[in-house]
Structure 1
Amino acid sequence: MSRTILYARVSTEDQNSSHQLAQAEAAGFTFDKVVVDHGVSGVSVPLAERPEGKRLFDMLHRGDVLVVRWVDRLGRNYQDVTDVIRHFMREGVVIKTVINKLTFDGATTDPMQAAVRDALIAFMAATAQAQAEATKEAQKAGIAAAKSDQAKYRGRKPSFDRDQLSAVQQMLADDAGASQIAKATGLTRQTVLRIRDDVAGAEAALARWQREDA
């Protein structure tokens, strides 16, 4: 009997994966099991080396569906993401994303459909790595701002966490509207607009609080 499994990942121990589950359920998914990695980098730690993610390789079987918020939950490295998706497709597992509603299925025998699918996989994996690199640069700018004299006052604690900020940045890159992003991430539309208008400032706000709460 086929199963539907959600895999969620958050980058720090203090982040909460519940909004990834809520976002998936709002998109119409129901799950037989939820697998979560906490405090794991998608850039430096491949899925097969994560405490929980590595279980997916034994857990998933032909006919099962693996749901992720977006391909960056599987990884933020081009080679790792493409290898993982192709591995699961060879095993007969269907991968679906909540954002963009993509489906990667290895069952197709039509060469044109397969070519389009493989090109999309490559594009999404490249986008995940590019987004990770852009986020890293924004984080550097935010940390620099947090360390400046003007940043001695922390201000109000951000209403978003690292995972939500990454999701907003990803959806903005995909040209999603503020209302759509707000619904998907659980943030207010005003918060999404503030992030859109000042990504470095959002990064700085997180950096200030994380630095002093550490």
Structure 2
Amino acid sequence: MLIGYARVSTLDQNPNLQSDALTAAGCEKIFIEKISGTVAERPELNKLKEHLRKGDTLVVWRLDRLGRSLKDLIEWVNYLDSQGVAFKSIQEGFDTGTSGGRLVFHLFGALAEFERNLIQERTMAGLTAARSRGRVGGRPKKLNEAKQKMARQMYDAKNPIKEICDALNISKPTLYKYLAG
């Protein structure tokens, strides 16, 4: 049985391109996930794993839909192989049920990881360049120095935590973060 897995990274993205391609490839069942590939726990992927049987073939639209690193992909293919399940990728056009397919898998896996590393390096270089020009990323601080001092004084004066949080319009975890720092 051909079983498909489609994944998009955000809830805003549409998996139709992938699911249409998987249906055209002959998949009888398709598991669709809307979650980042970097997230370790993927509920639909776990359901798919339970659904696979010896002789099945797991089909994906592209390699990066299943795993984000070569290590992840190799672990998946090794797991599938141990279960007697083949792995096919539509875009890359290979099947791990053959020795040539295994070779192609390893080559494309390495290229996919290389591409991801390049993206990370460019992102980090862009962030470094922005910081050097004085741009600071991230969420703005909830409390300025004066309010931080006020929080510390109220806490040291044994004011109730709820009263401190209400006065400064912050949550308990935020208060404790500032008190610890």
Q: Same fold (TM over 0.5)?
A: yes
Equivalent residue number for residue 130 of structure 1: 114
Whole-Å Cα distance in 1 between the matches of residues 105 and 16 of structure 2? 26
Alpha-carbon distance change, 139 to 94 in structure 1, aligned in 2, over 3 angstroms: same
Equivalent residue number for residue 29 of structure 1: 25
CA contact (8 A) 1:5 1:34 kept: yes
**Paired AA for residue 62 in structure 1:** K
Q: How does 1:13-24 map to 2 (within 5 A)?
A: 13-24=11-22
Greater RCO structure (CA 8 Å; 6+ sep): 1
Question: Structure 1: 5+ residue runs without aligned partners?
Answer: 145-214
* Structure 1 runs of 4+ with >4 Å offset: 137-144
Whole-Å Cα distance in 1 between the matches of residues 126 and 14 of structure 2? 22
Q: Secondary structure at the match of 1:52?
A: helix
Equivalent residue number for residue 58 of structure 1: 50
Q: How does 1:59-138 map to 2 (within 5 A)?
A: 59-105=51-97, 113=99, 116-137=100-121
Q: How does 1:152-191 map to 2 (within 5 A)?
A: none
Whole-Å Cα distance in 1 between the matches of residues 56 and 48 of structure 2? 11
Whole-Å Cα distance in 1 between the matches of residues 21 and 124 of structure 2? 29
Aligned residues: percent identity?
31
Q: Secondary structure at the match of 2:26?
A: coil
Q: CA deviation at 1:143?
A: 8.7
Q: Secondary structure at the match of 1:35?
A: strand
Q: CA deviation at 1:101?
A: 1.6
Alpha-carbon distance change, 54 to 21 in structure 1, aligned in 2, over 3 angstroms: same
CA contact (8 A) 2:94 2:104 kept: no
CA contact (8 A) 1:75 1:128 kept: no
Is 2:7 aligned against 1:45? no
Question: Structure 2: 5+ residue runs without aligned partners?
Answer: 129-181
CA contact (8 A) 2:63 2:92 kept: no
Q: Secondary structure at the match of 2:43?
A: coil
**Paired AA for residue 59 in structure 1:** H
- Alignment RMSD, CA only? 2.8
Q: CA deviation at 1:45?
A: 2.7
Whole-Å Cα distance in 2 between the matches of residues 85 and 51 of structure 1? 19
Whole-Å Cα distance in 2 between the matches of residues 96 and 38 of structure 1? 21
Whole-Å Cα distance in 2 between the matches of residues 51 and 45 of structure 1? 10
Whole-Å Cα distance in 1 between the matches of residues 123 and 18 of structure 2? 22
**Paired AA for residue 21 in structure 1:** S
CA contact (8 A) 2:4 2:27 kept: yes
Alpha-carbon distance change, 89 to 29 in structure 1, aligned in 2, over 3 angstroms: same
**Paired AA for residue 63 in structure 1:** G
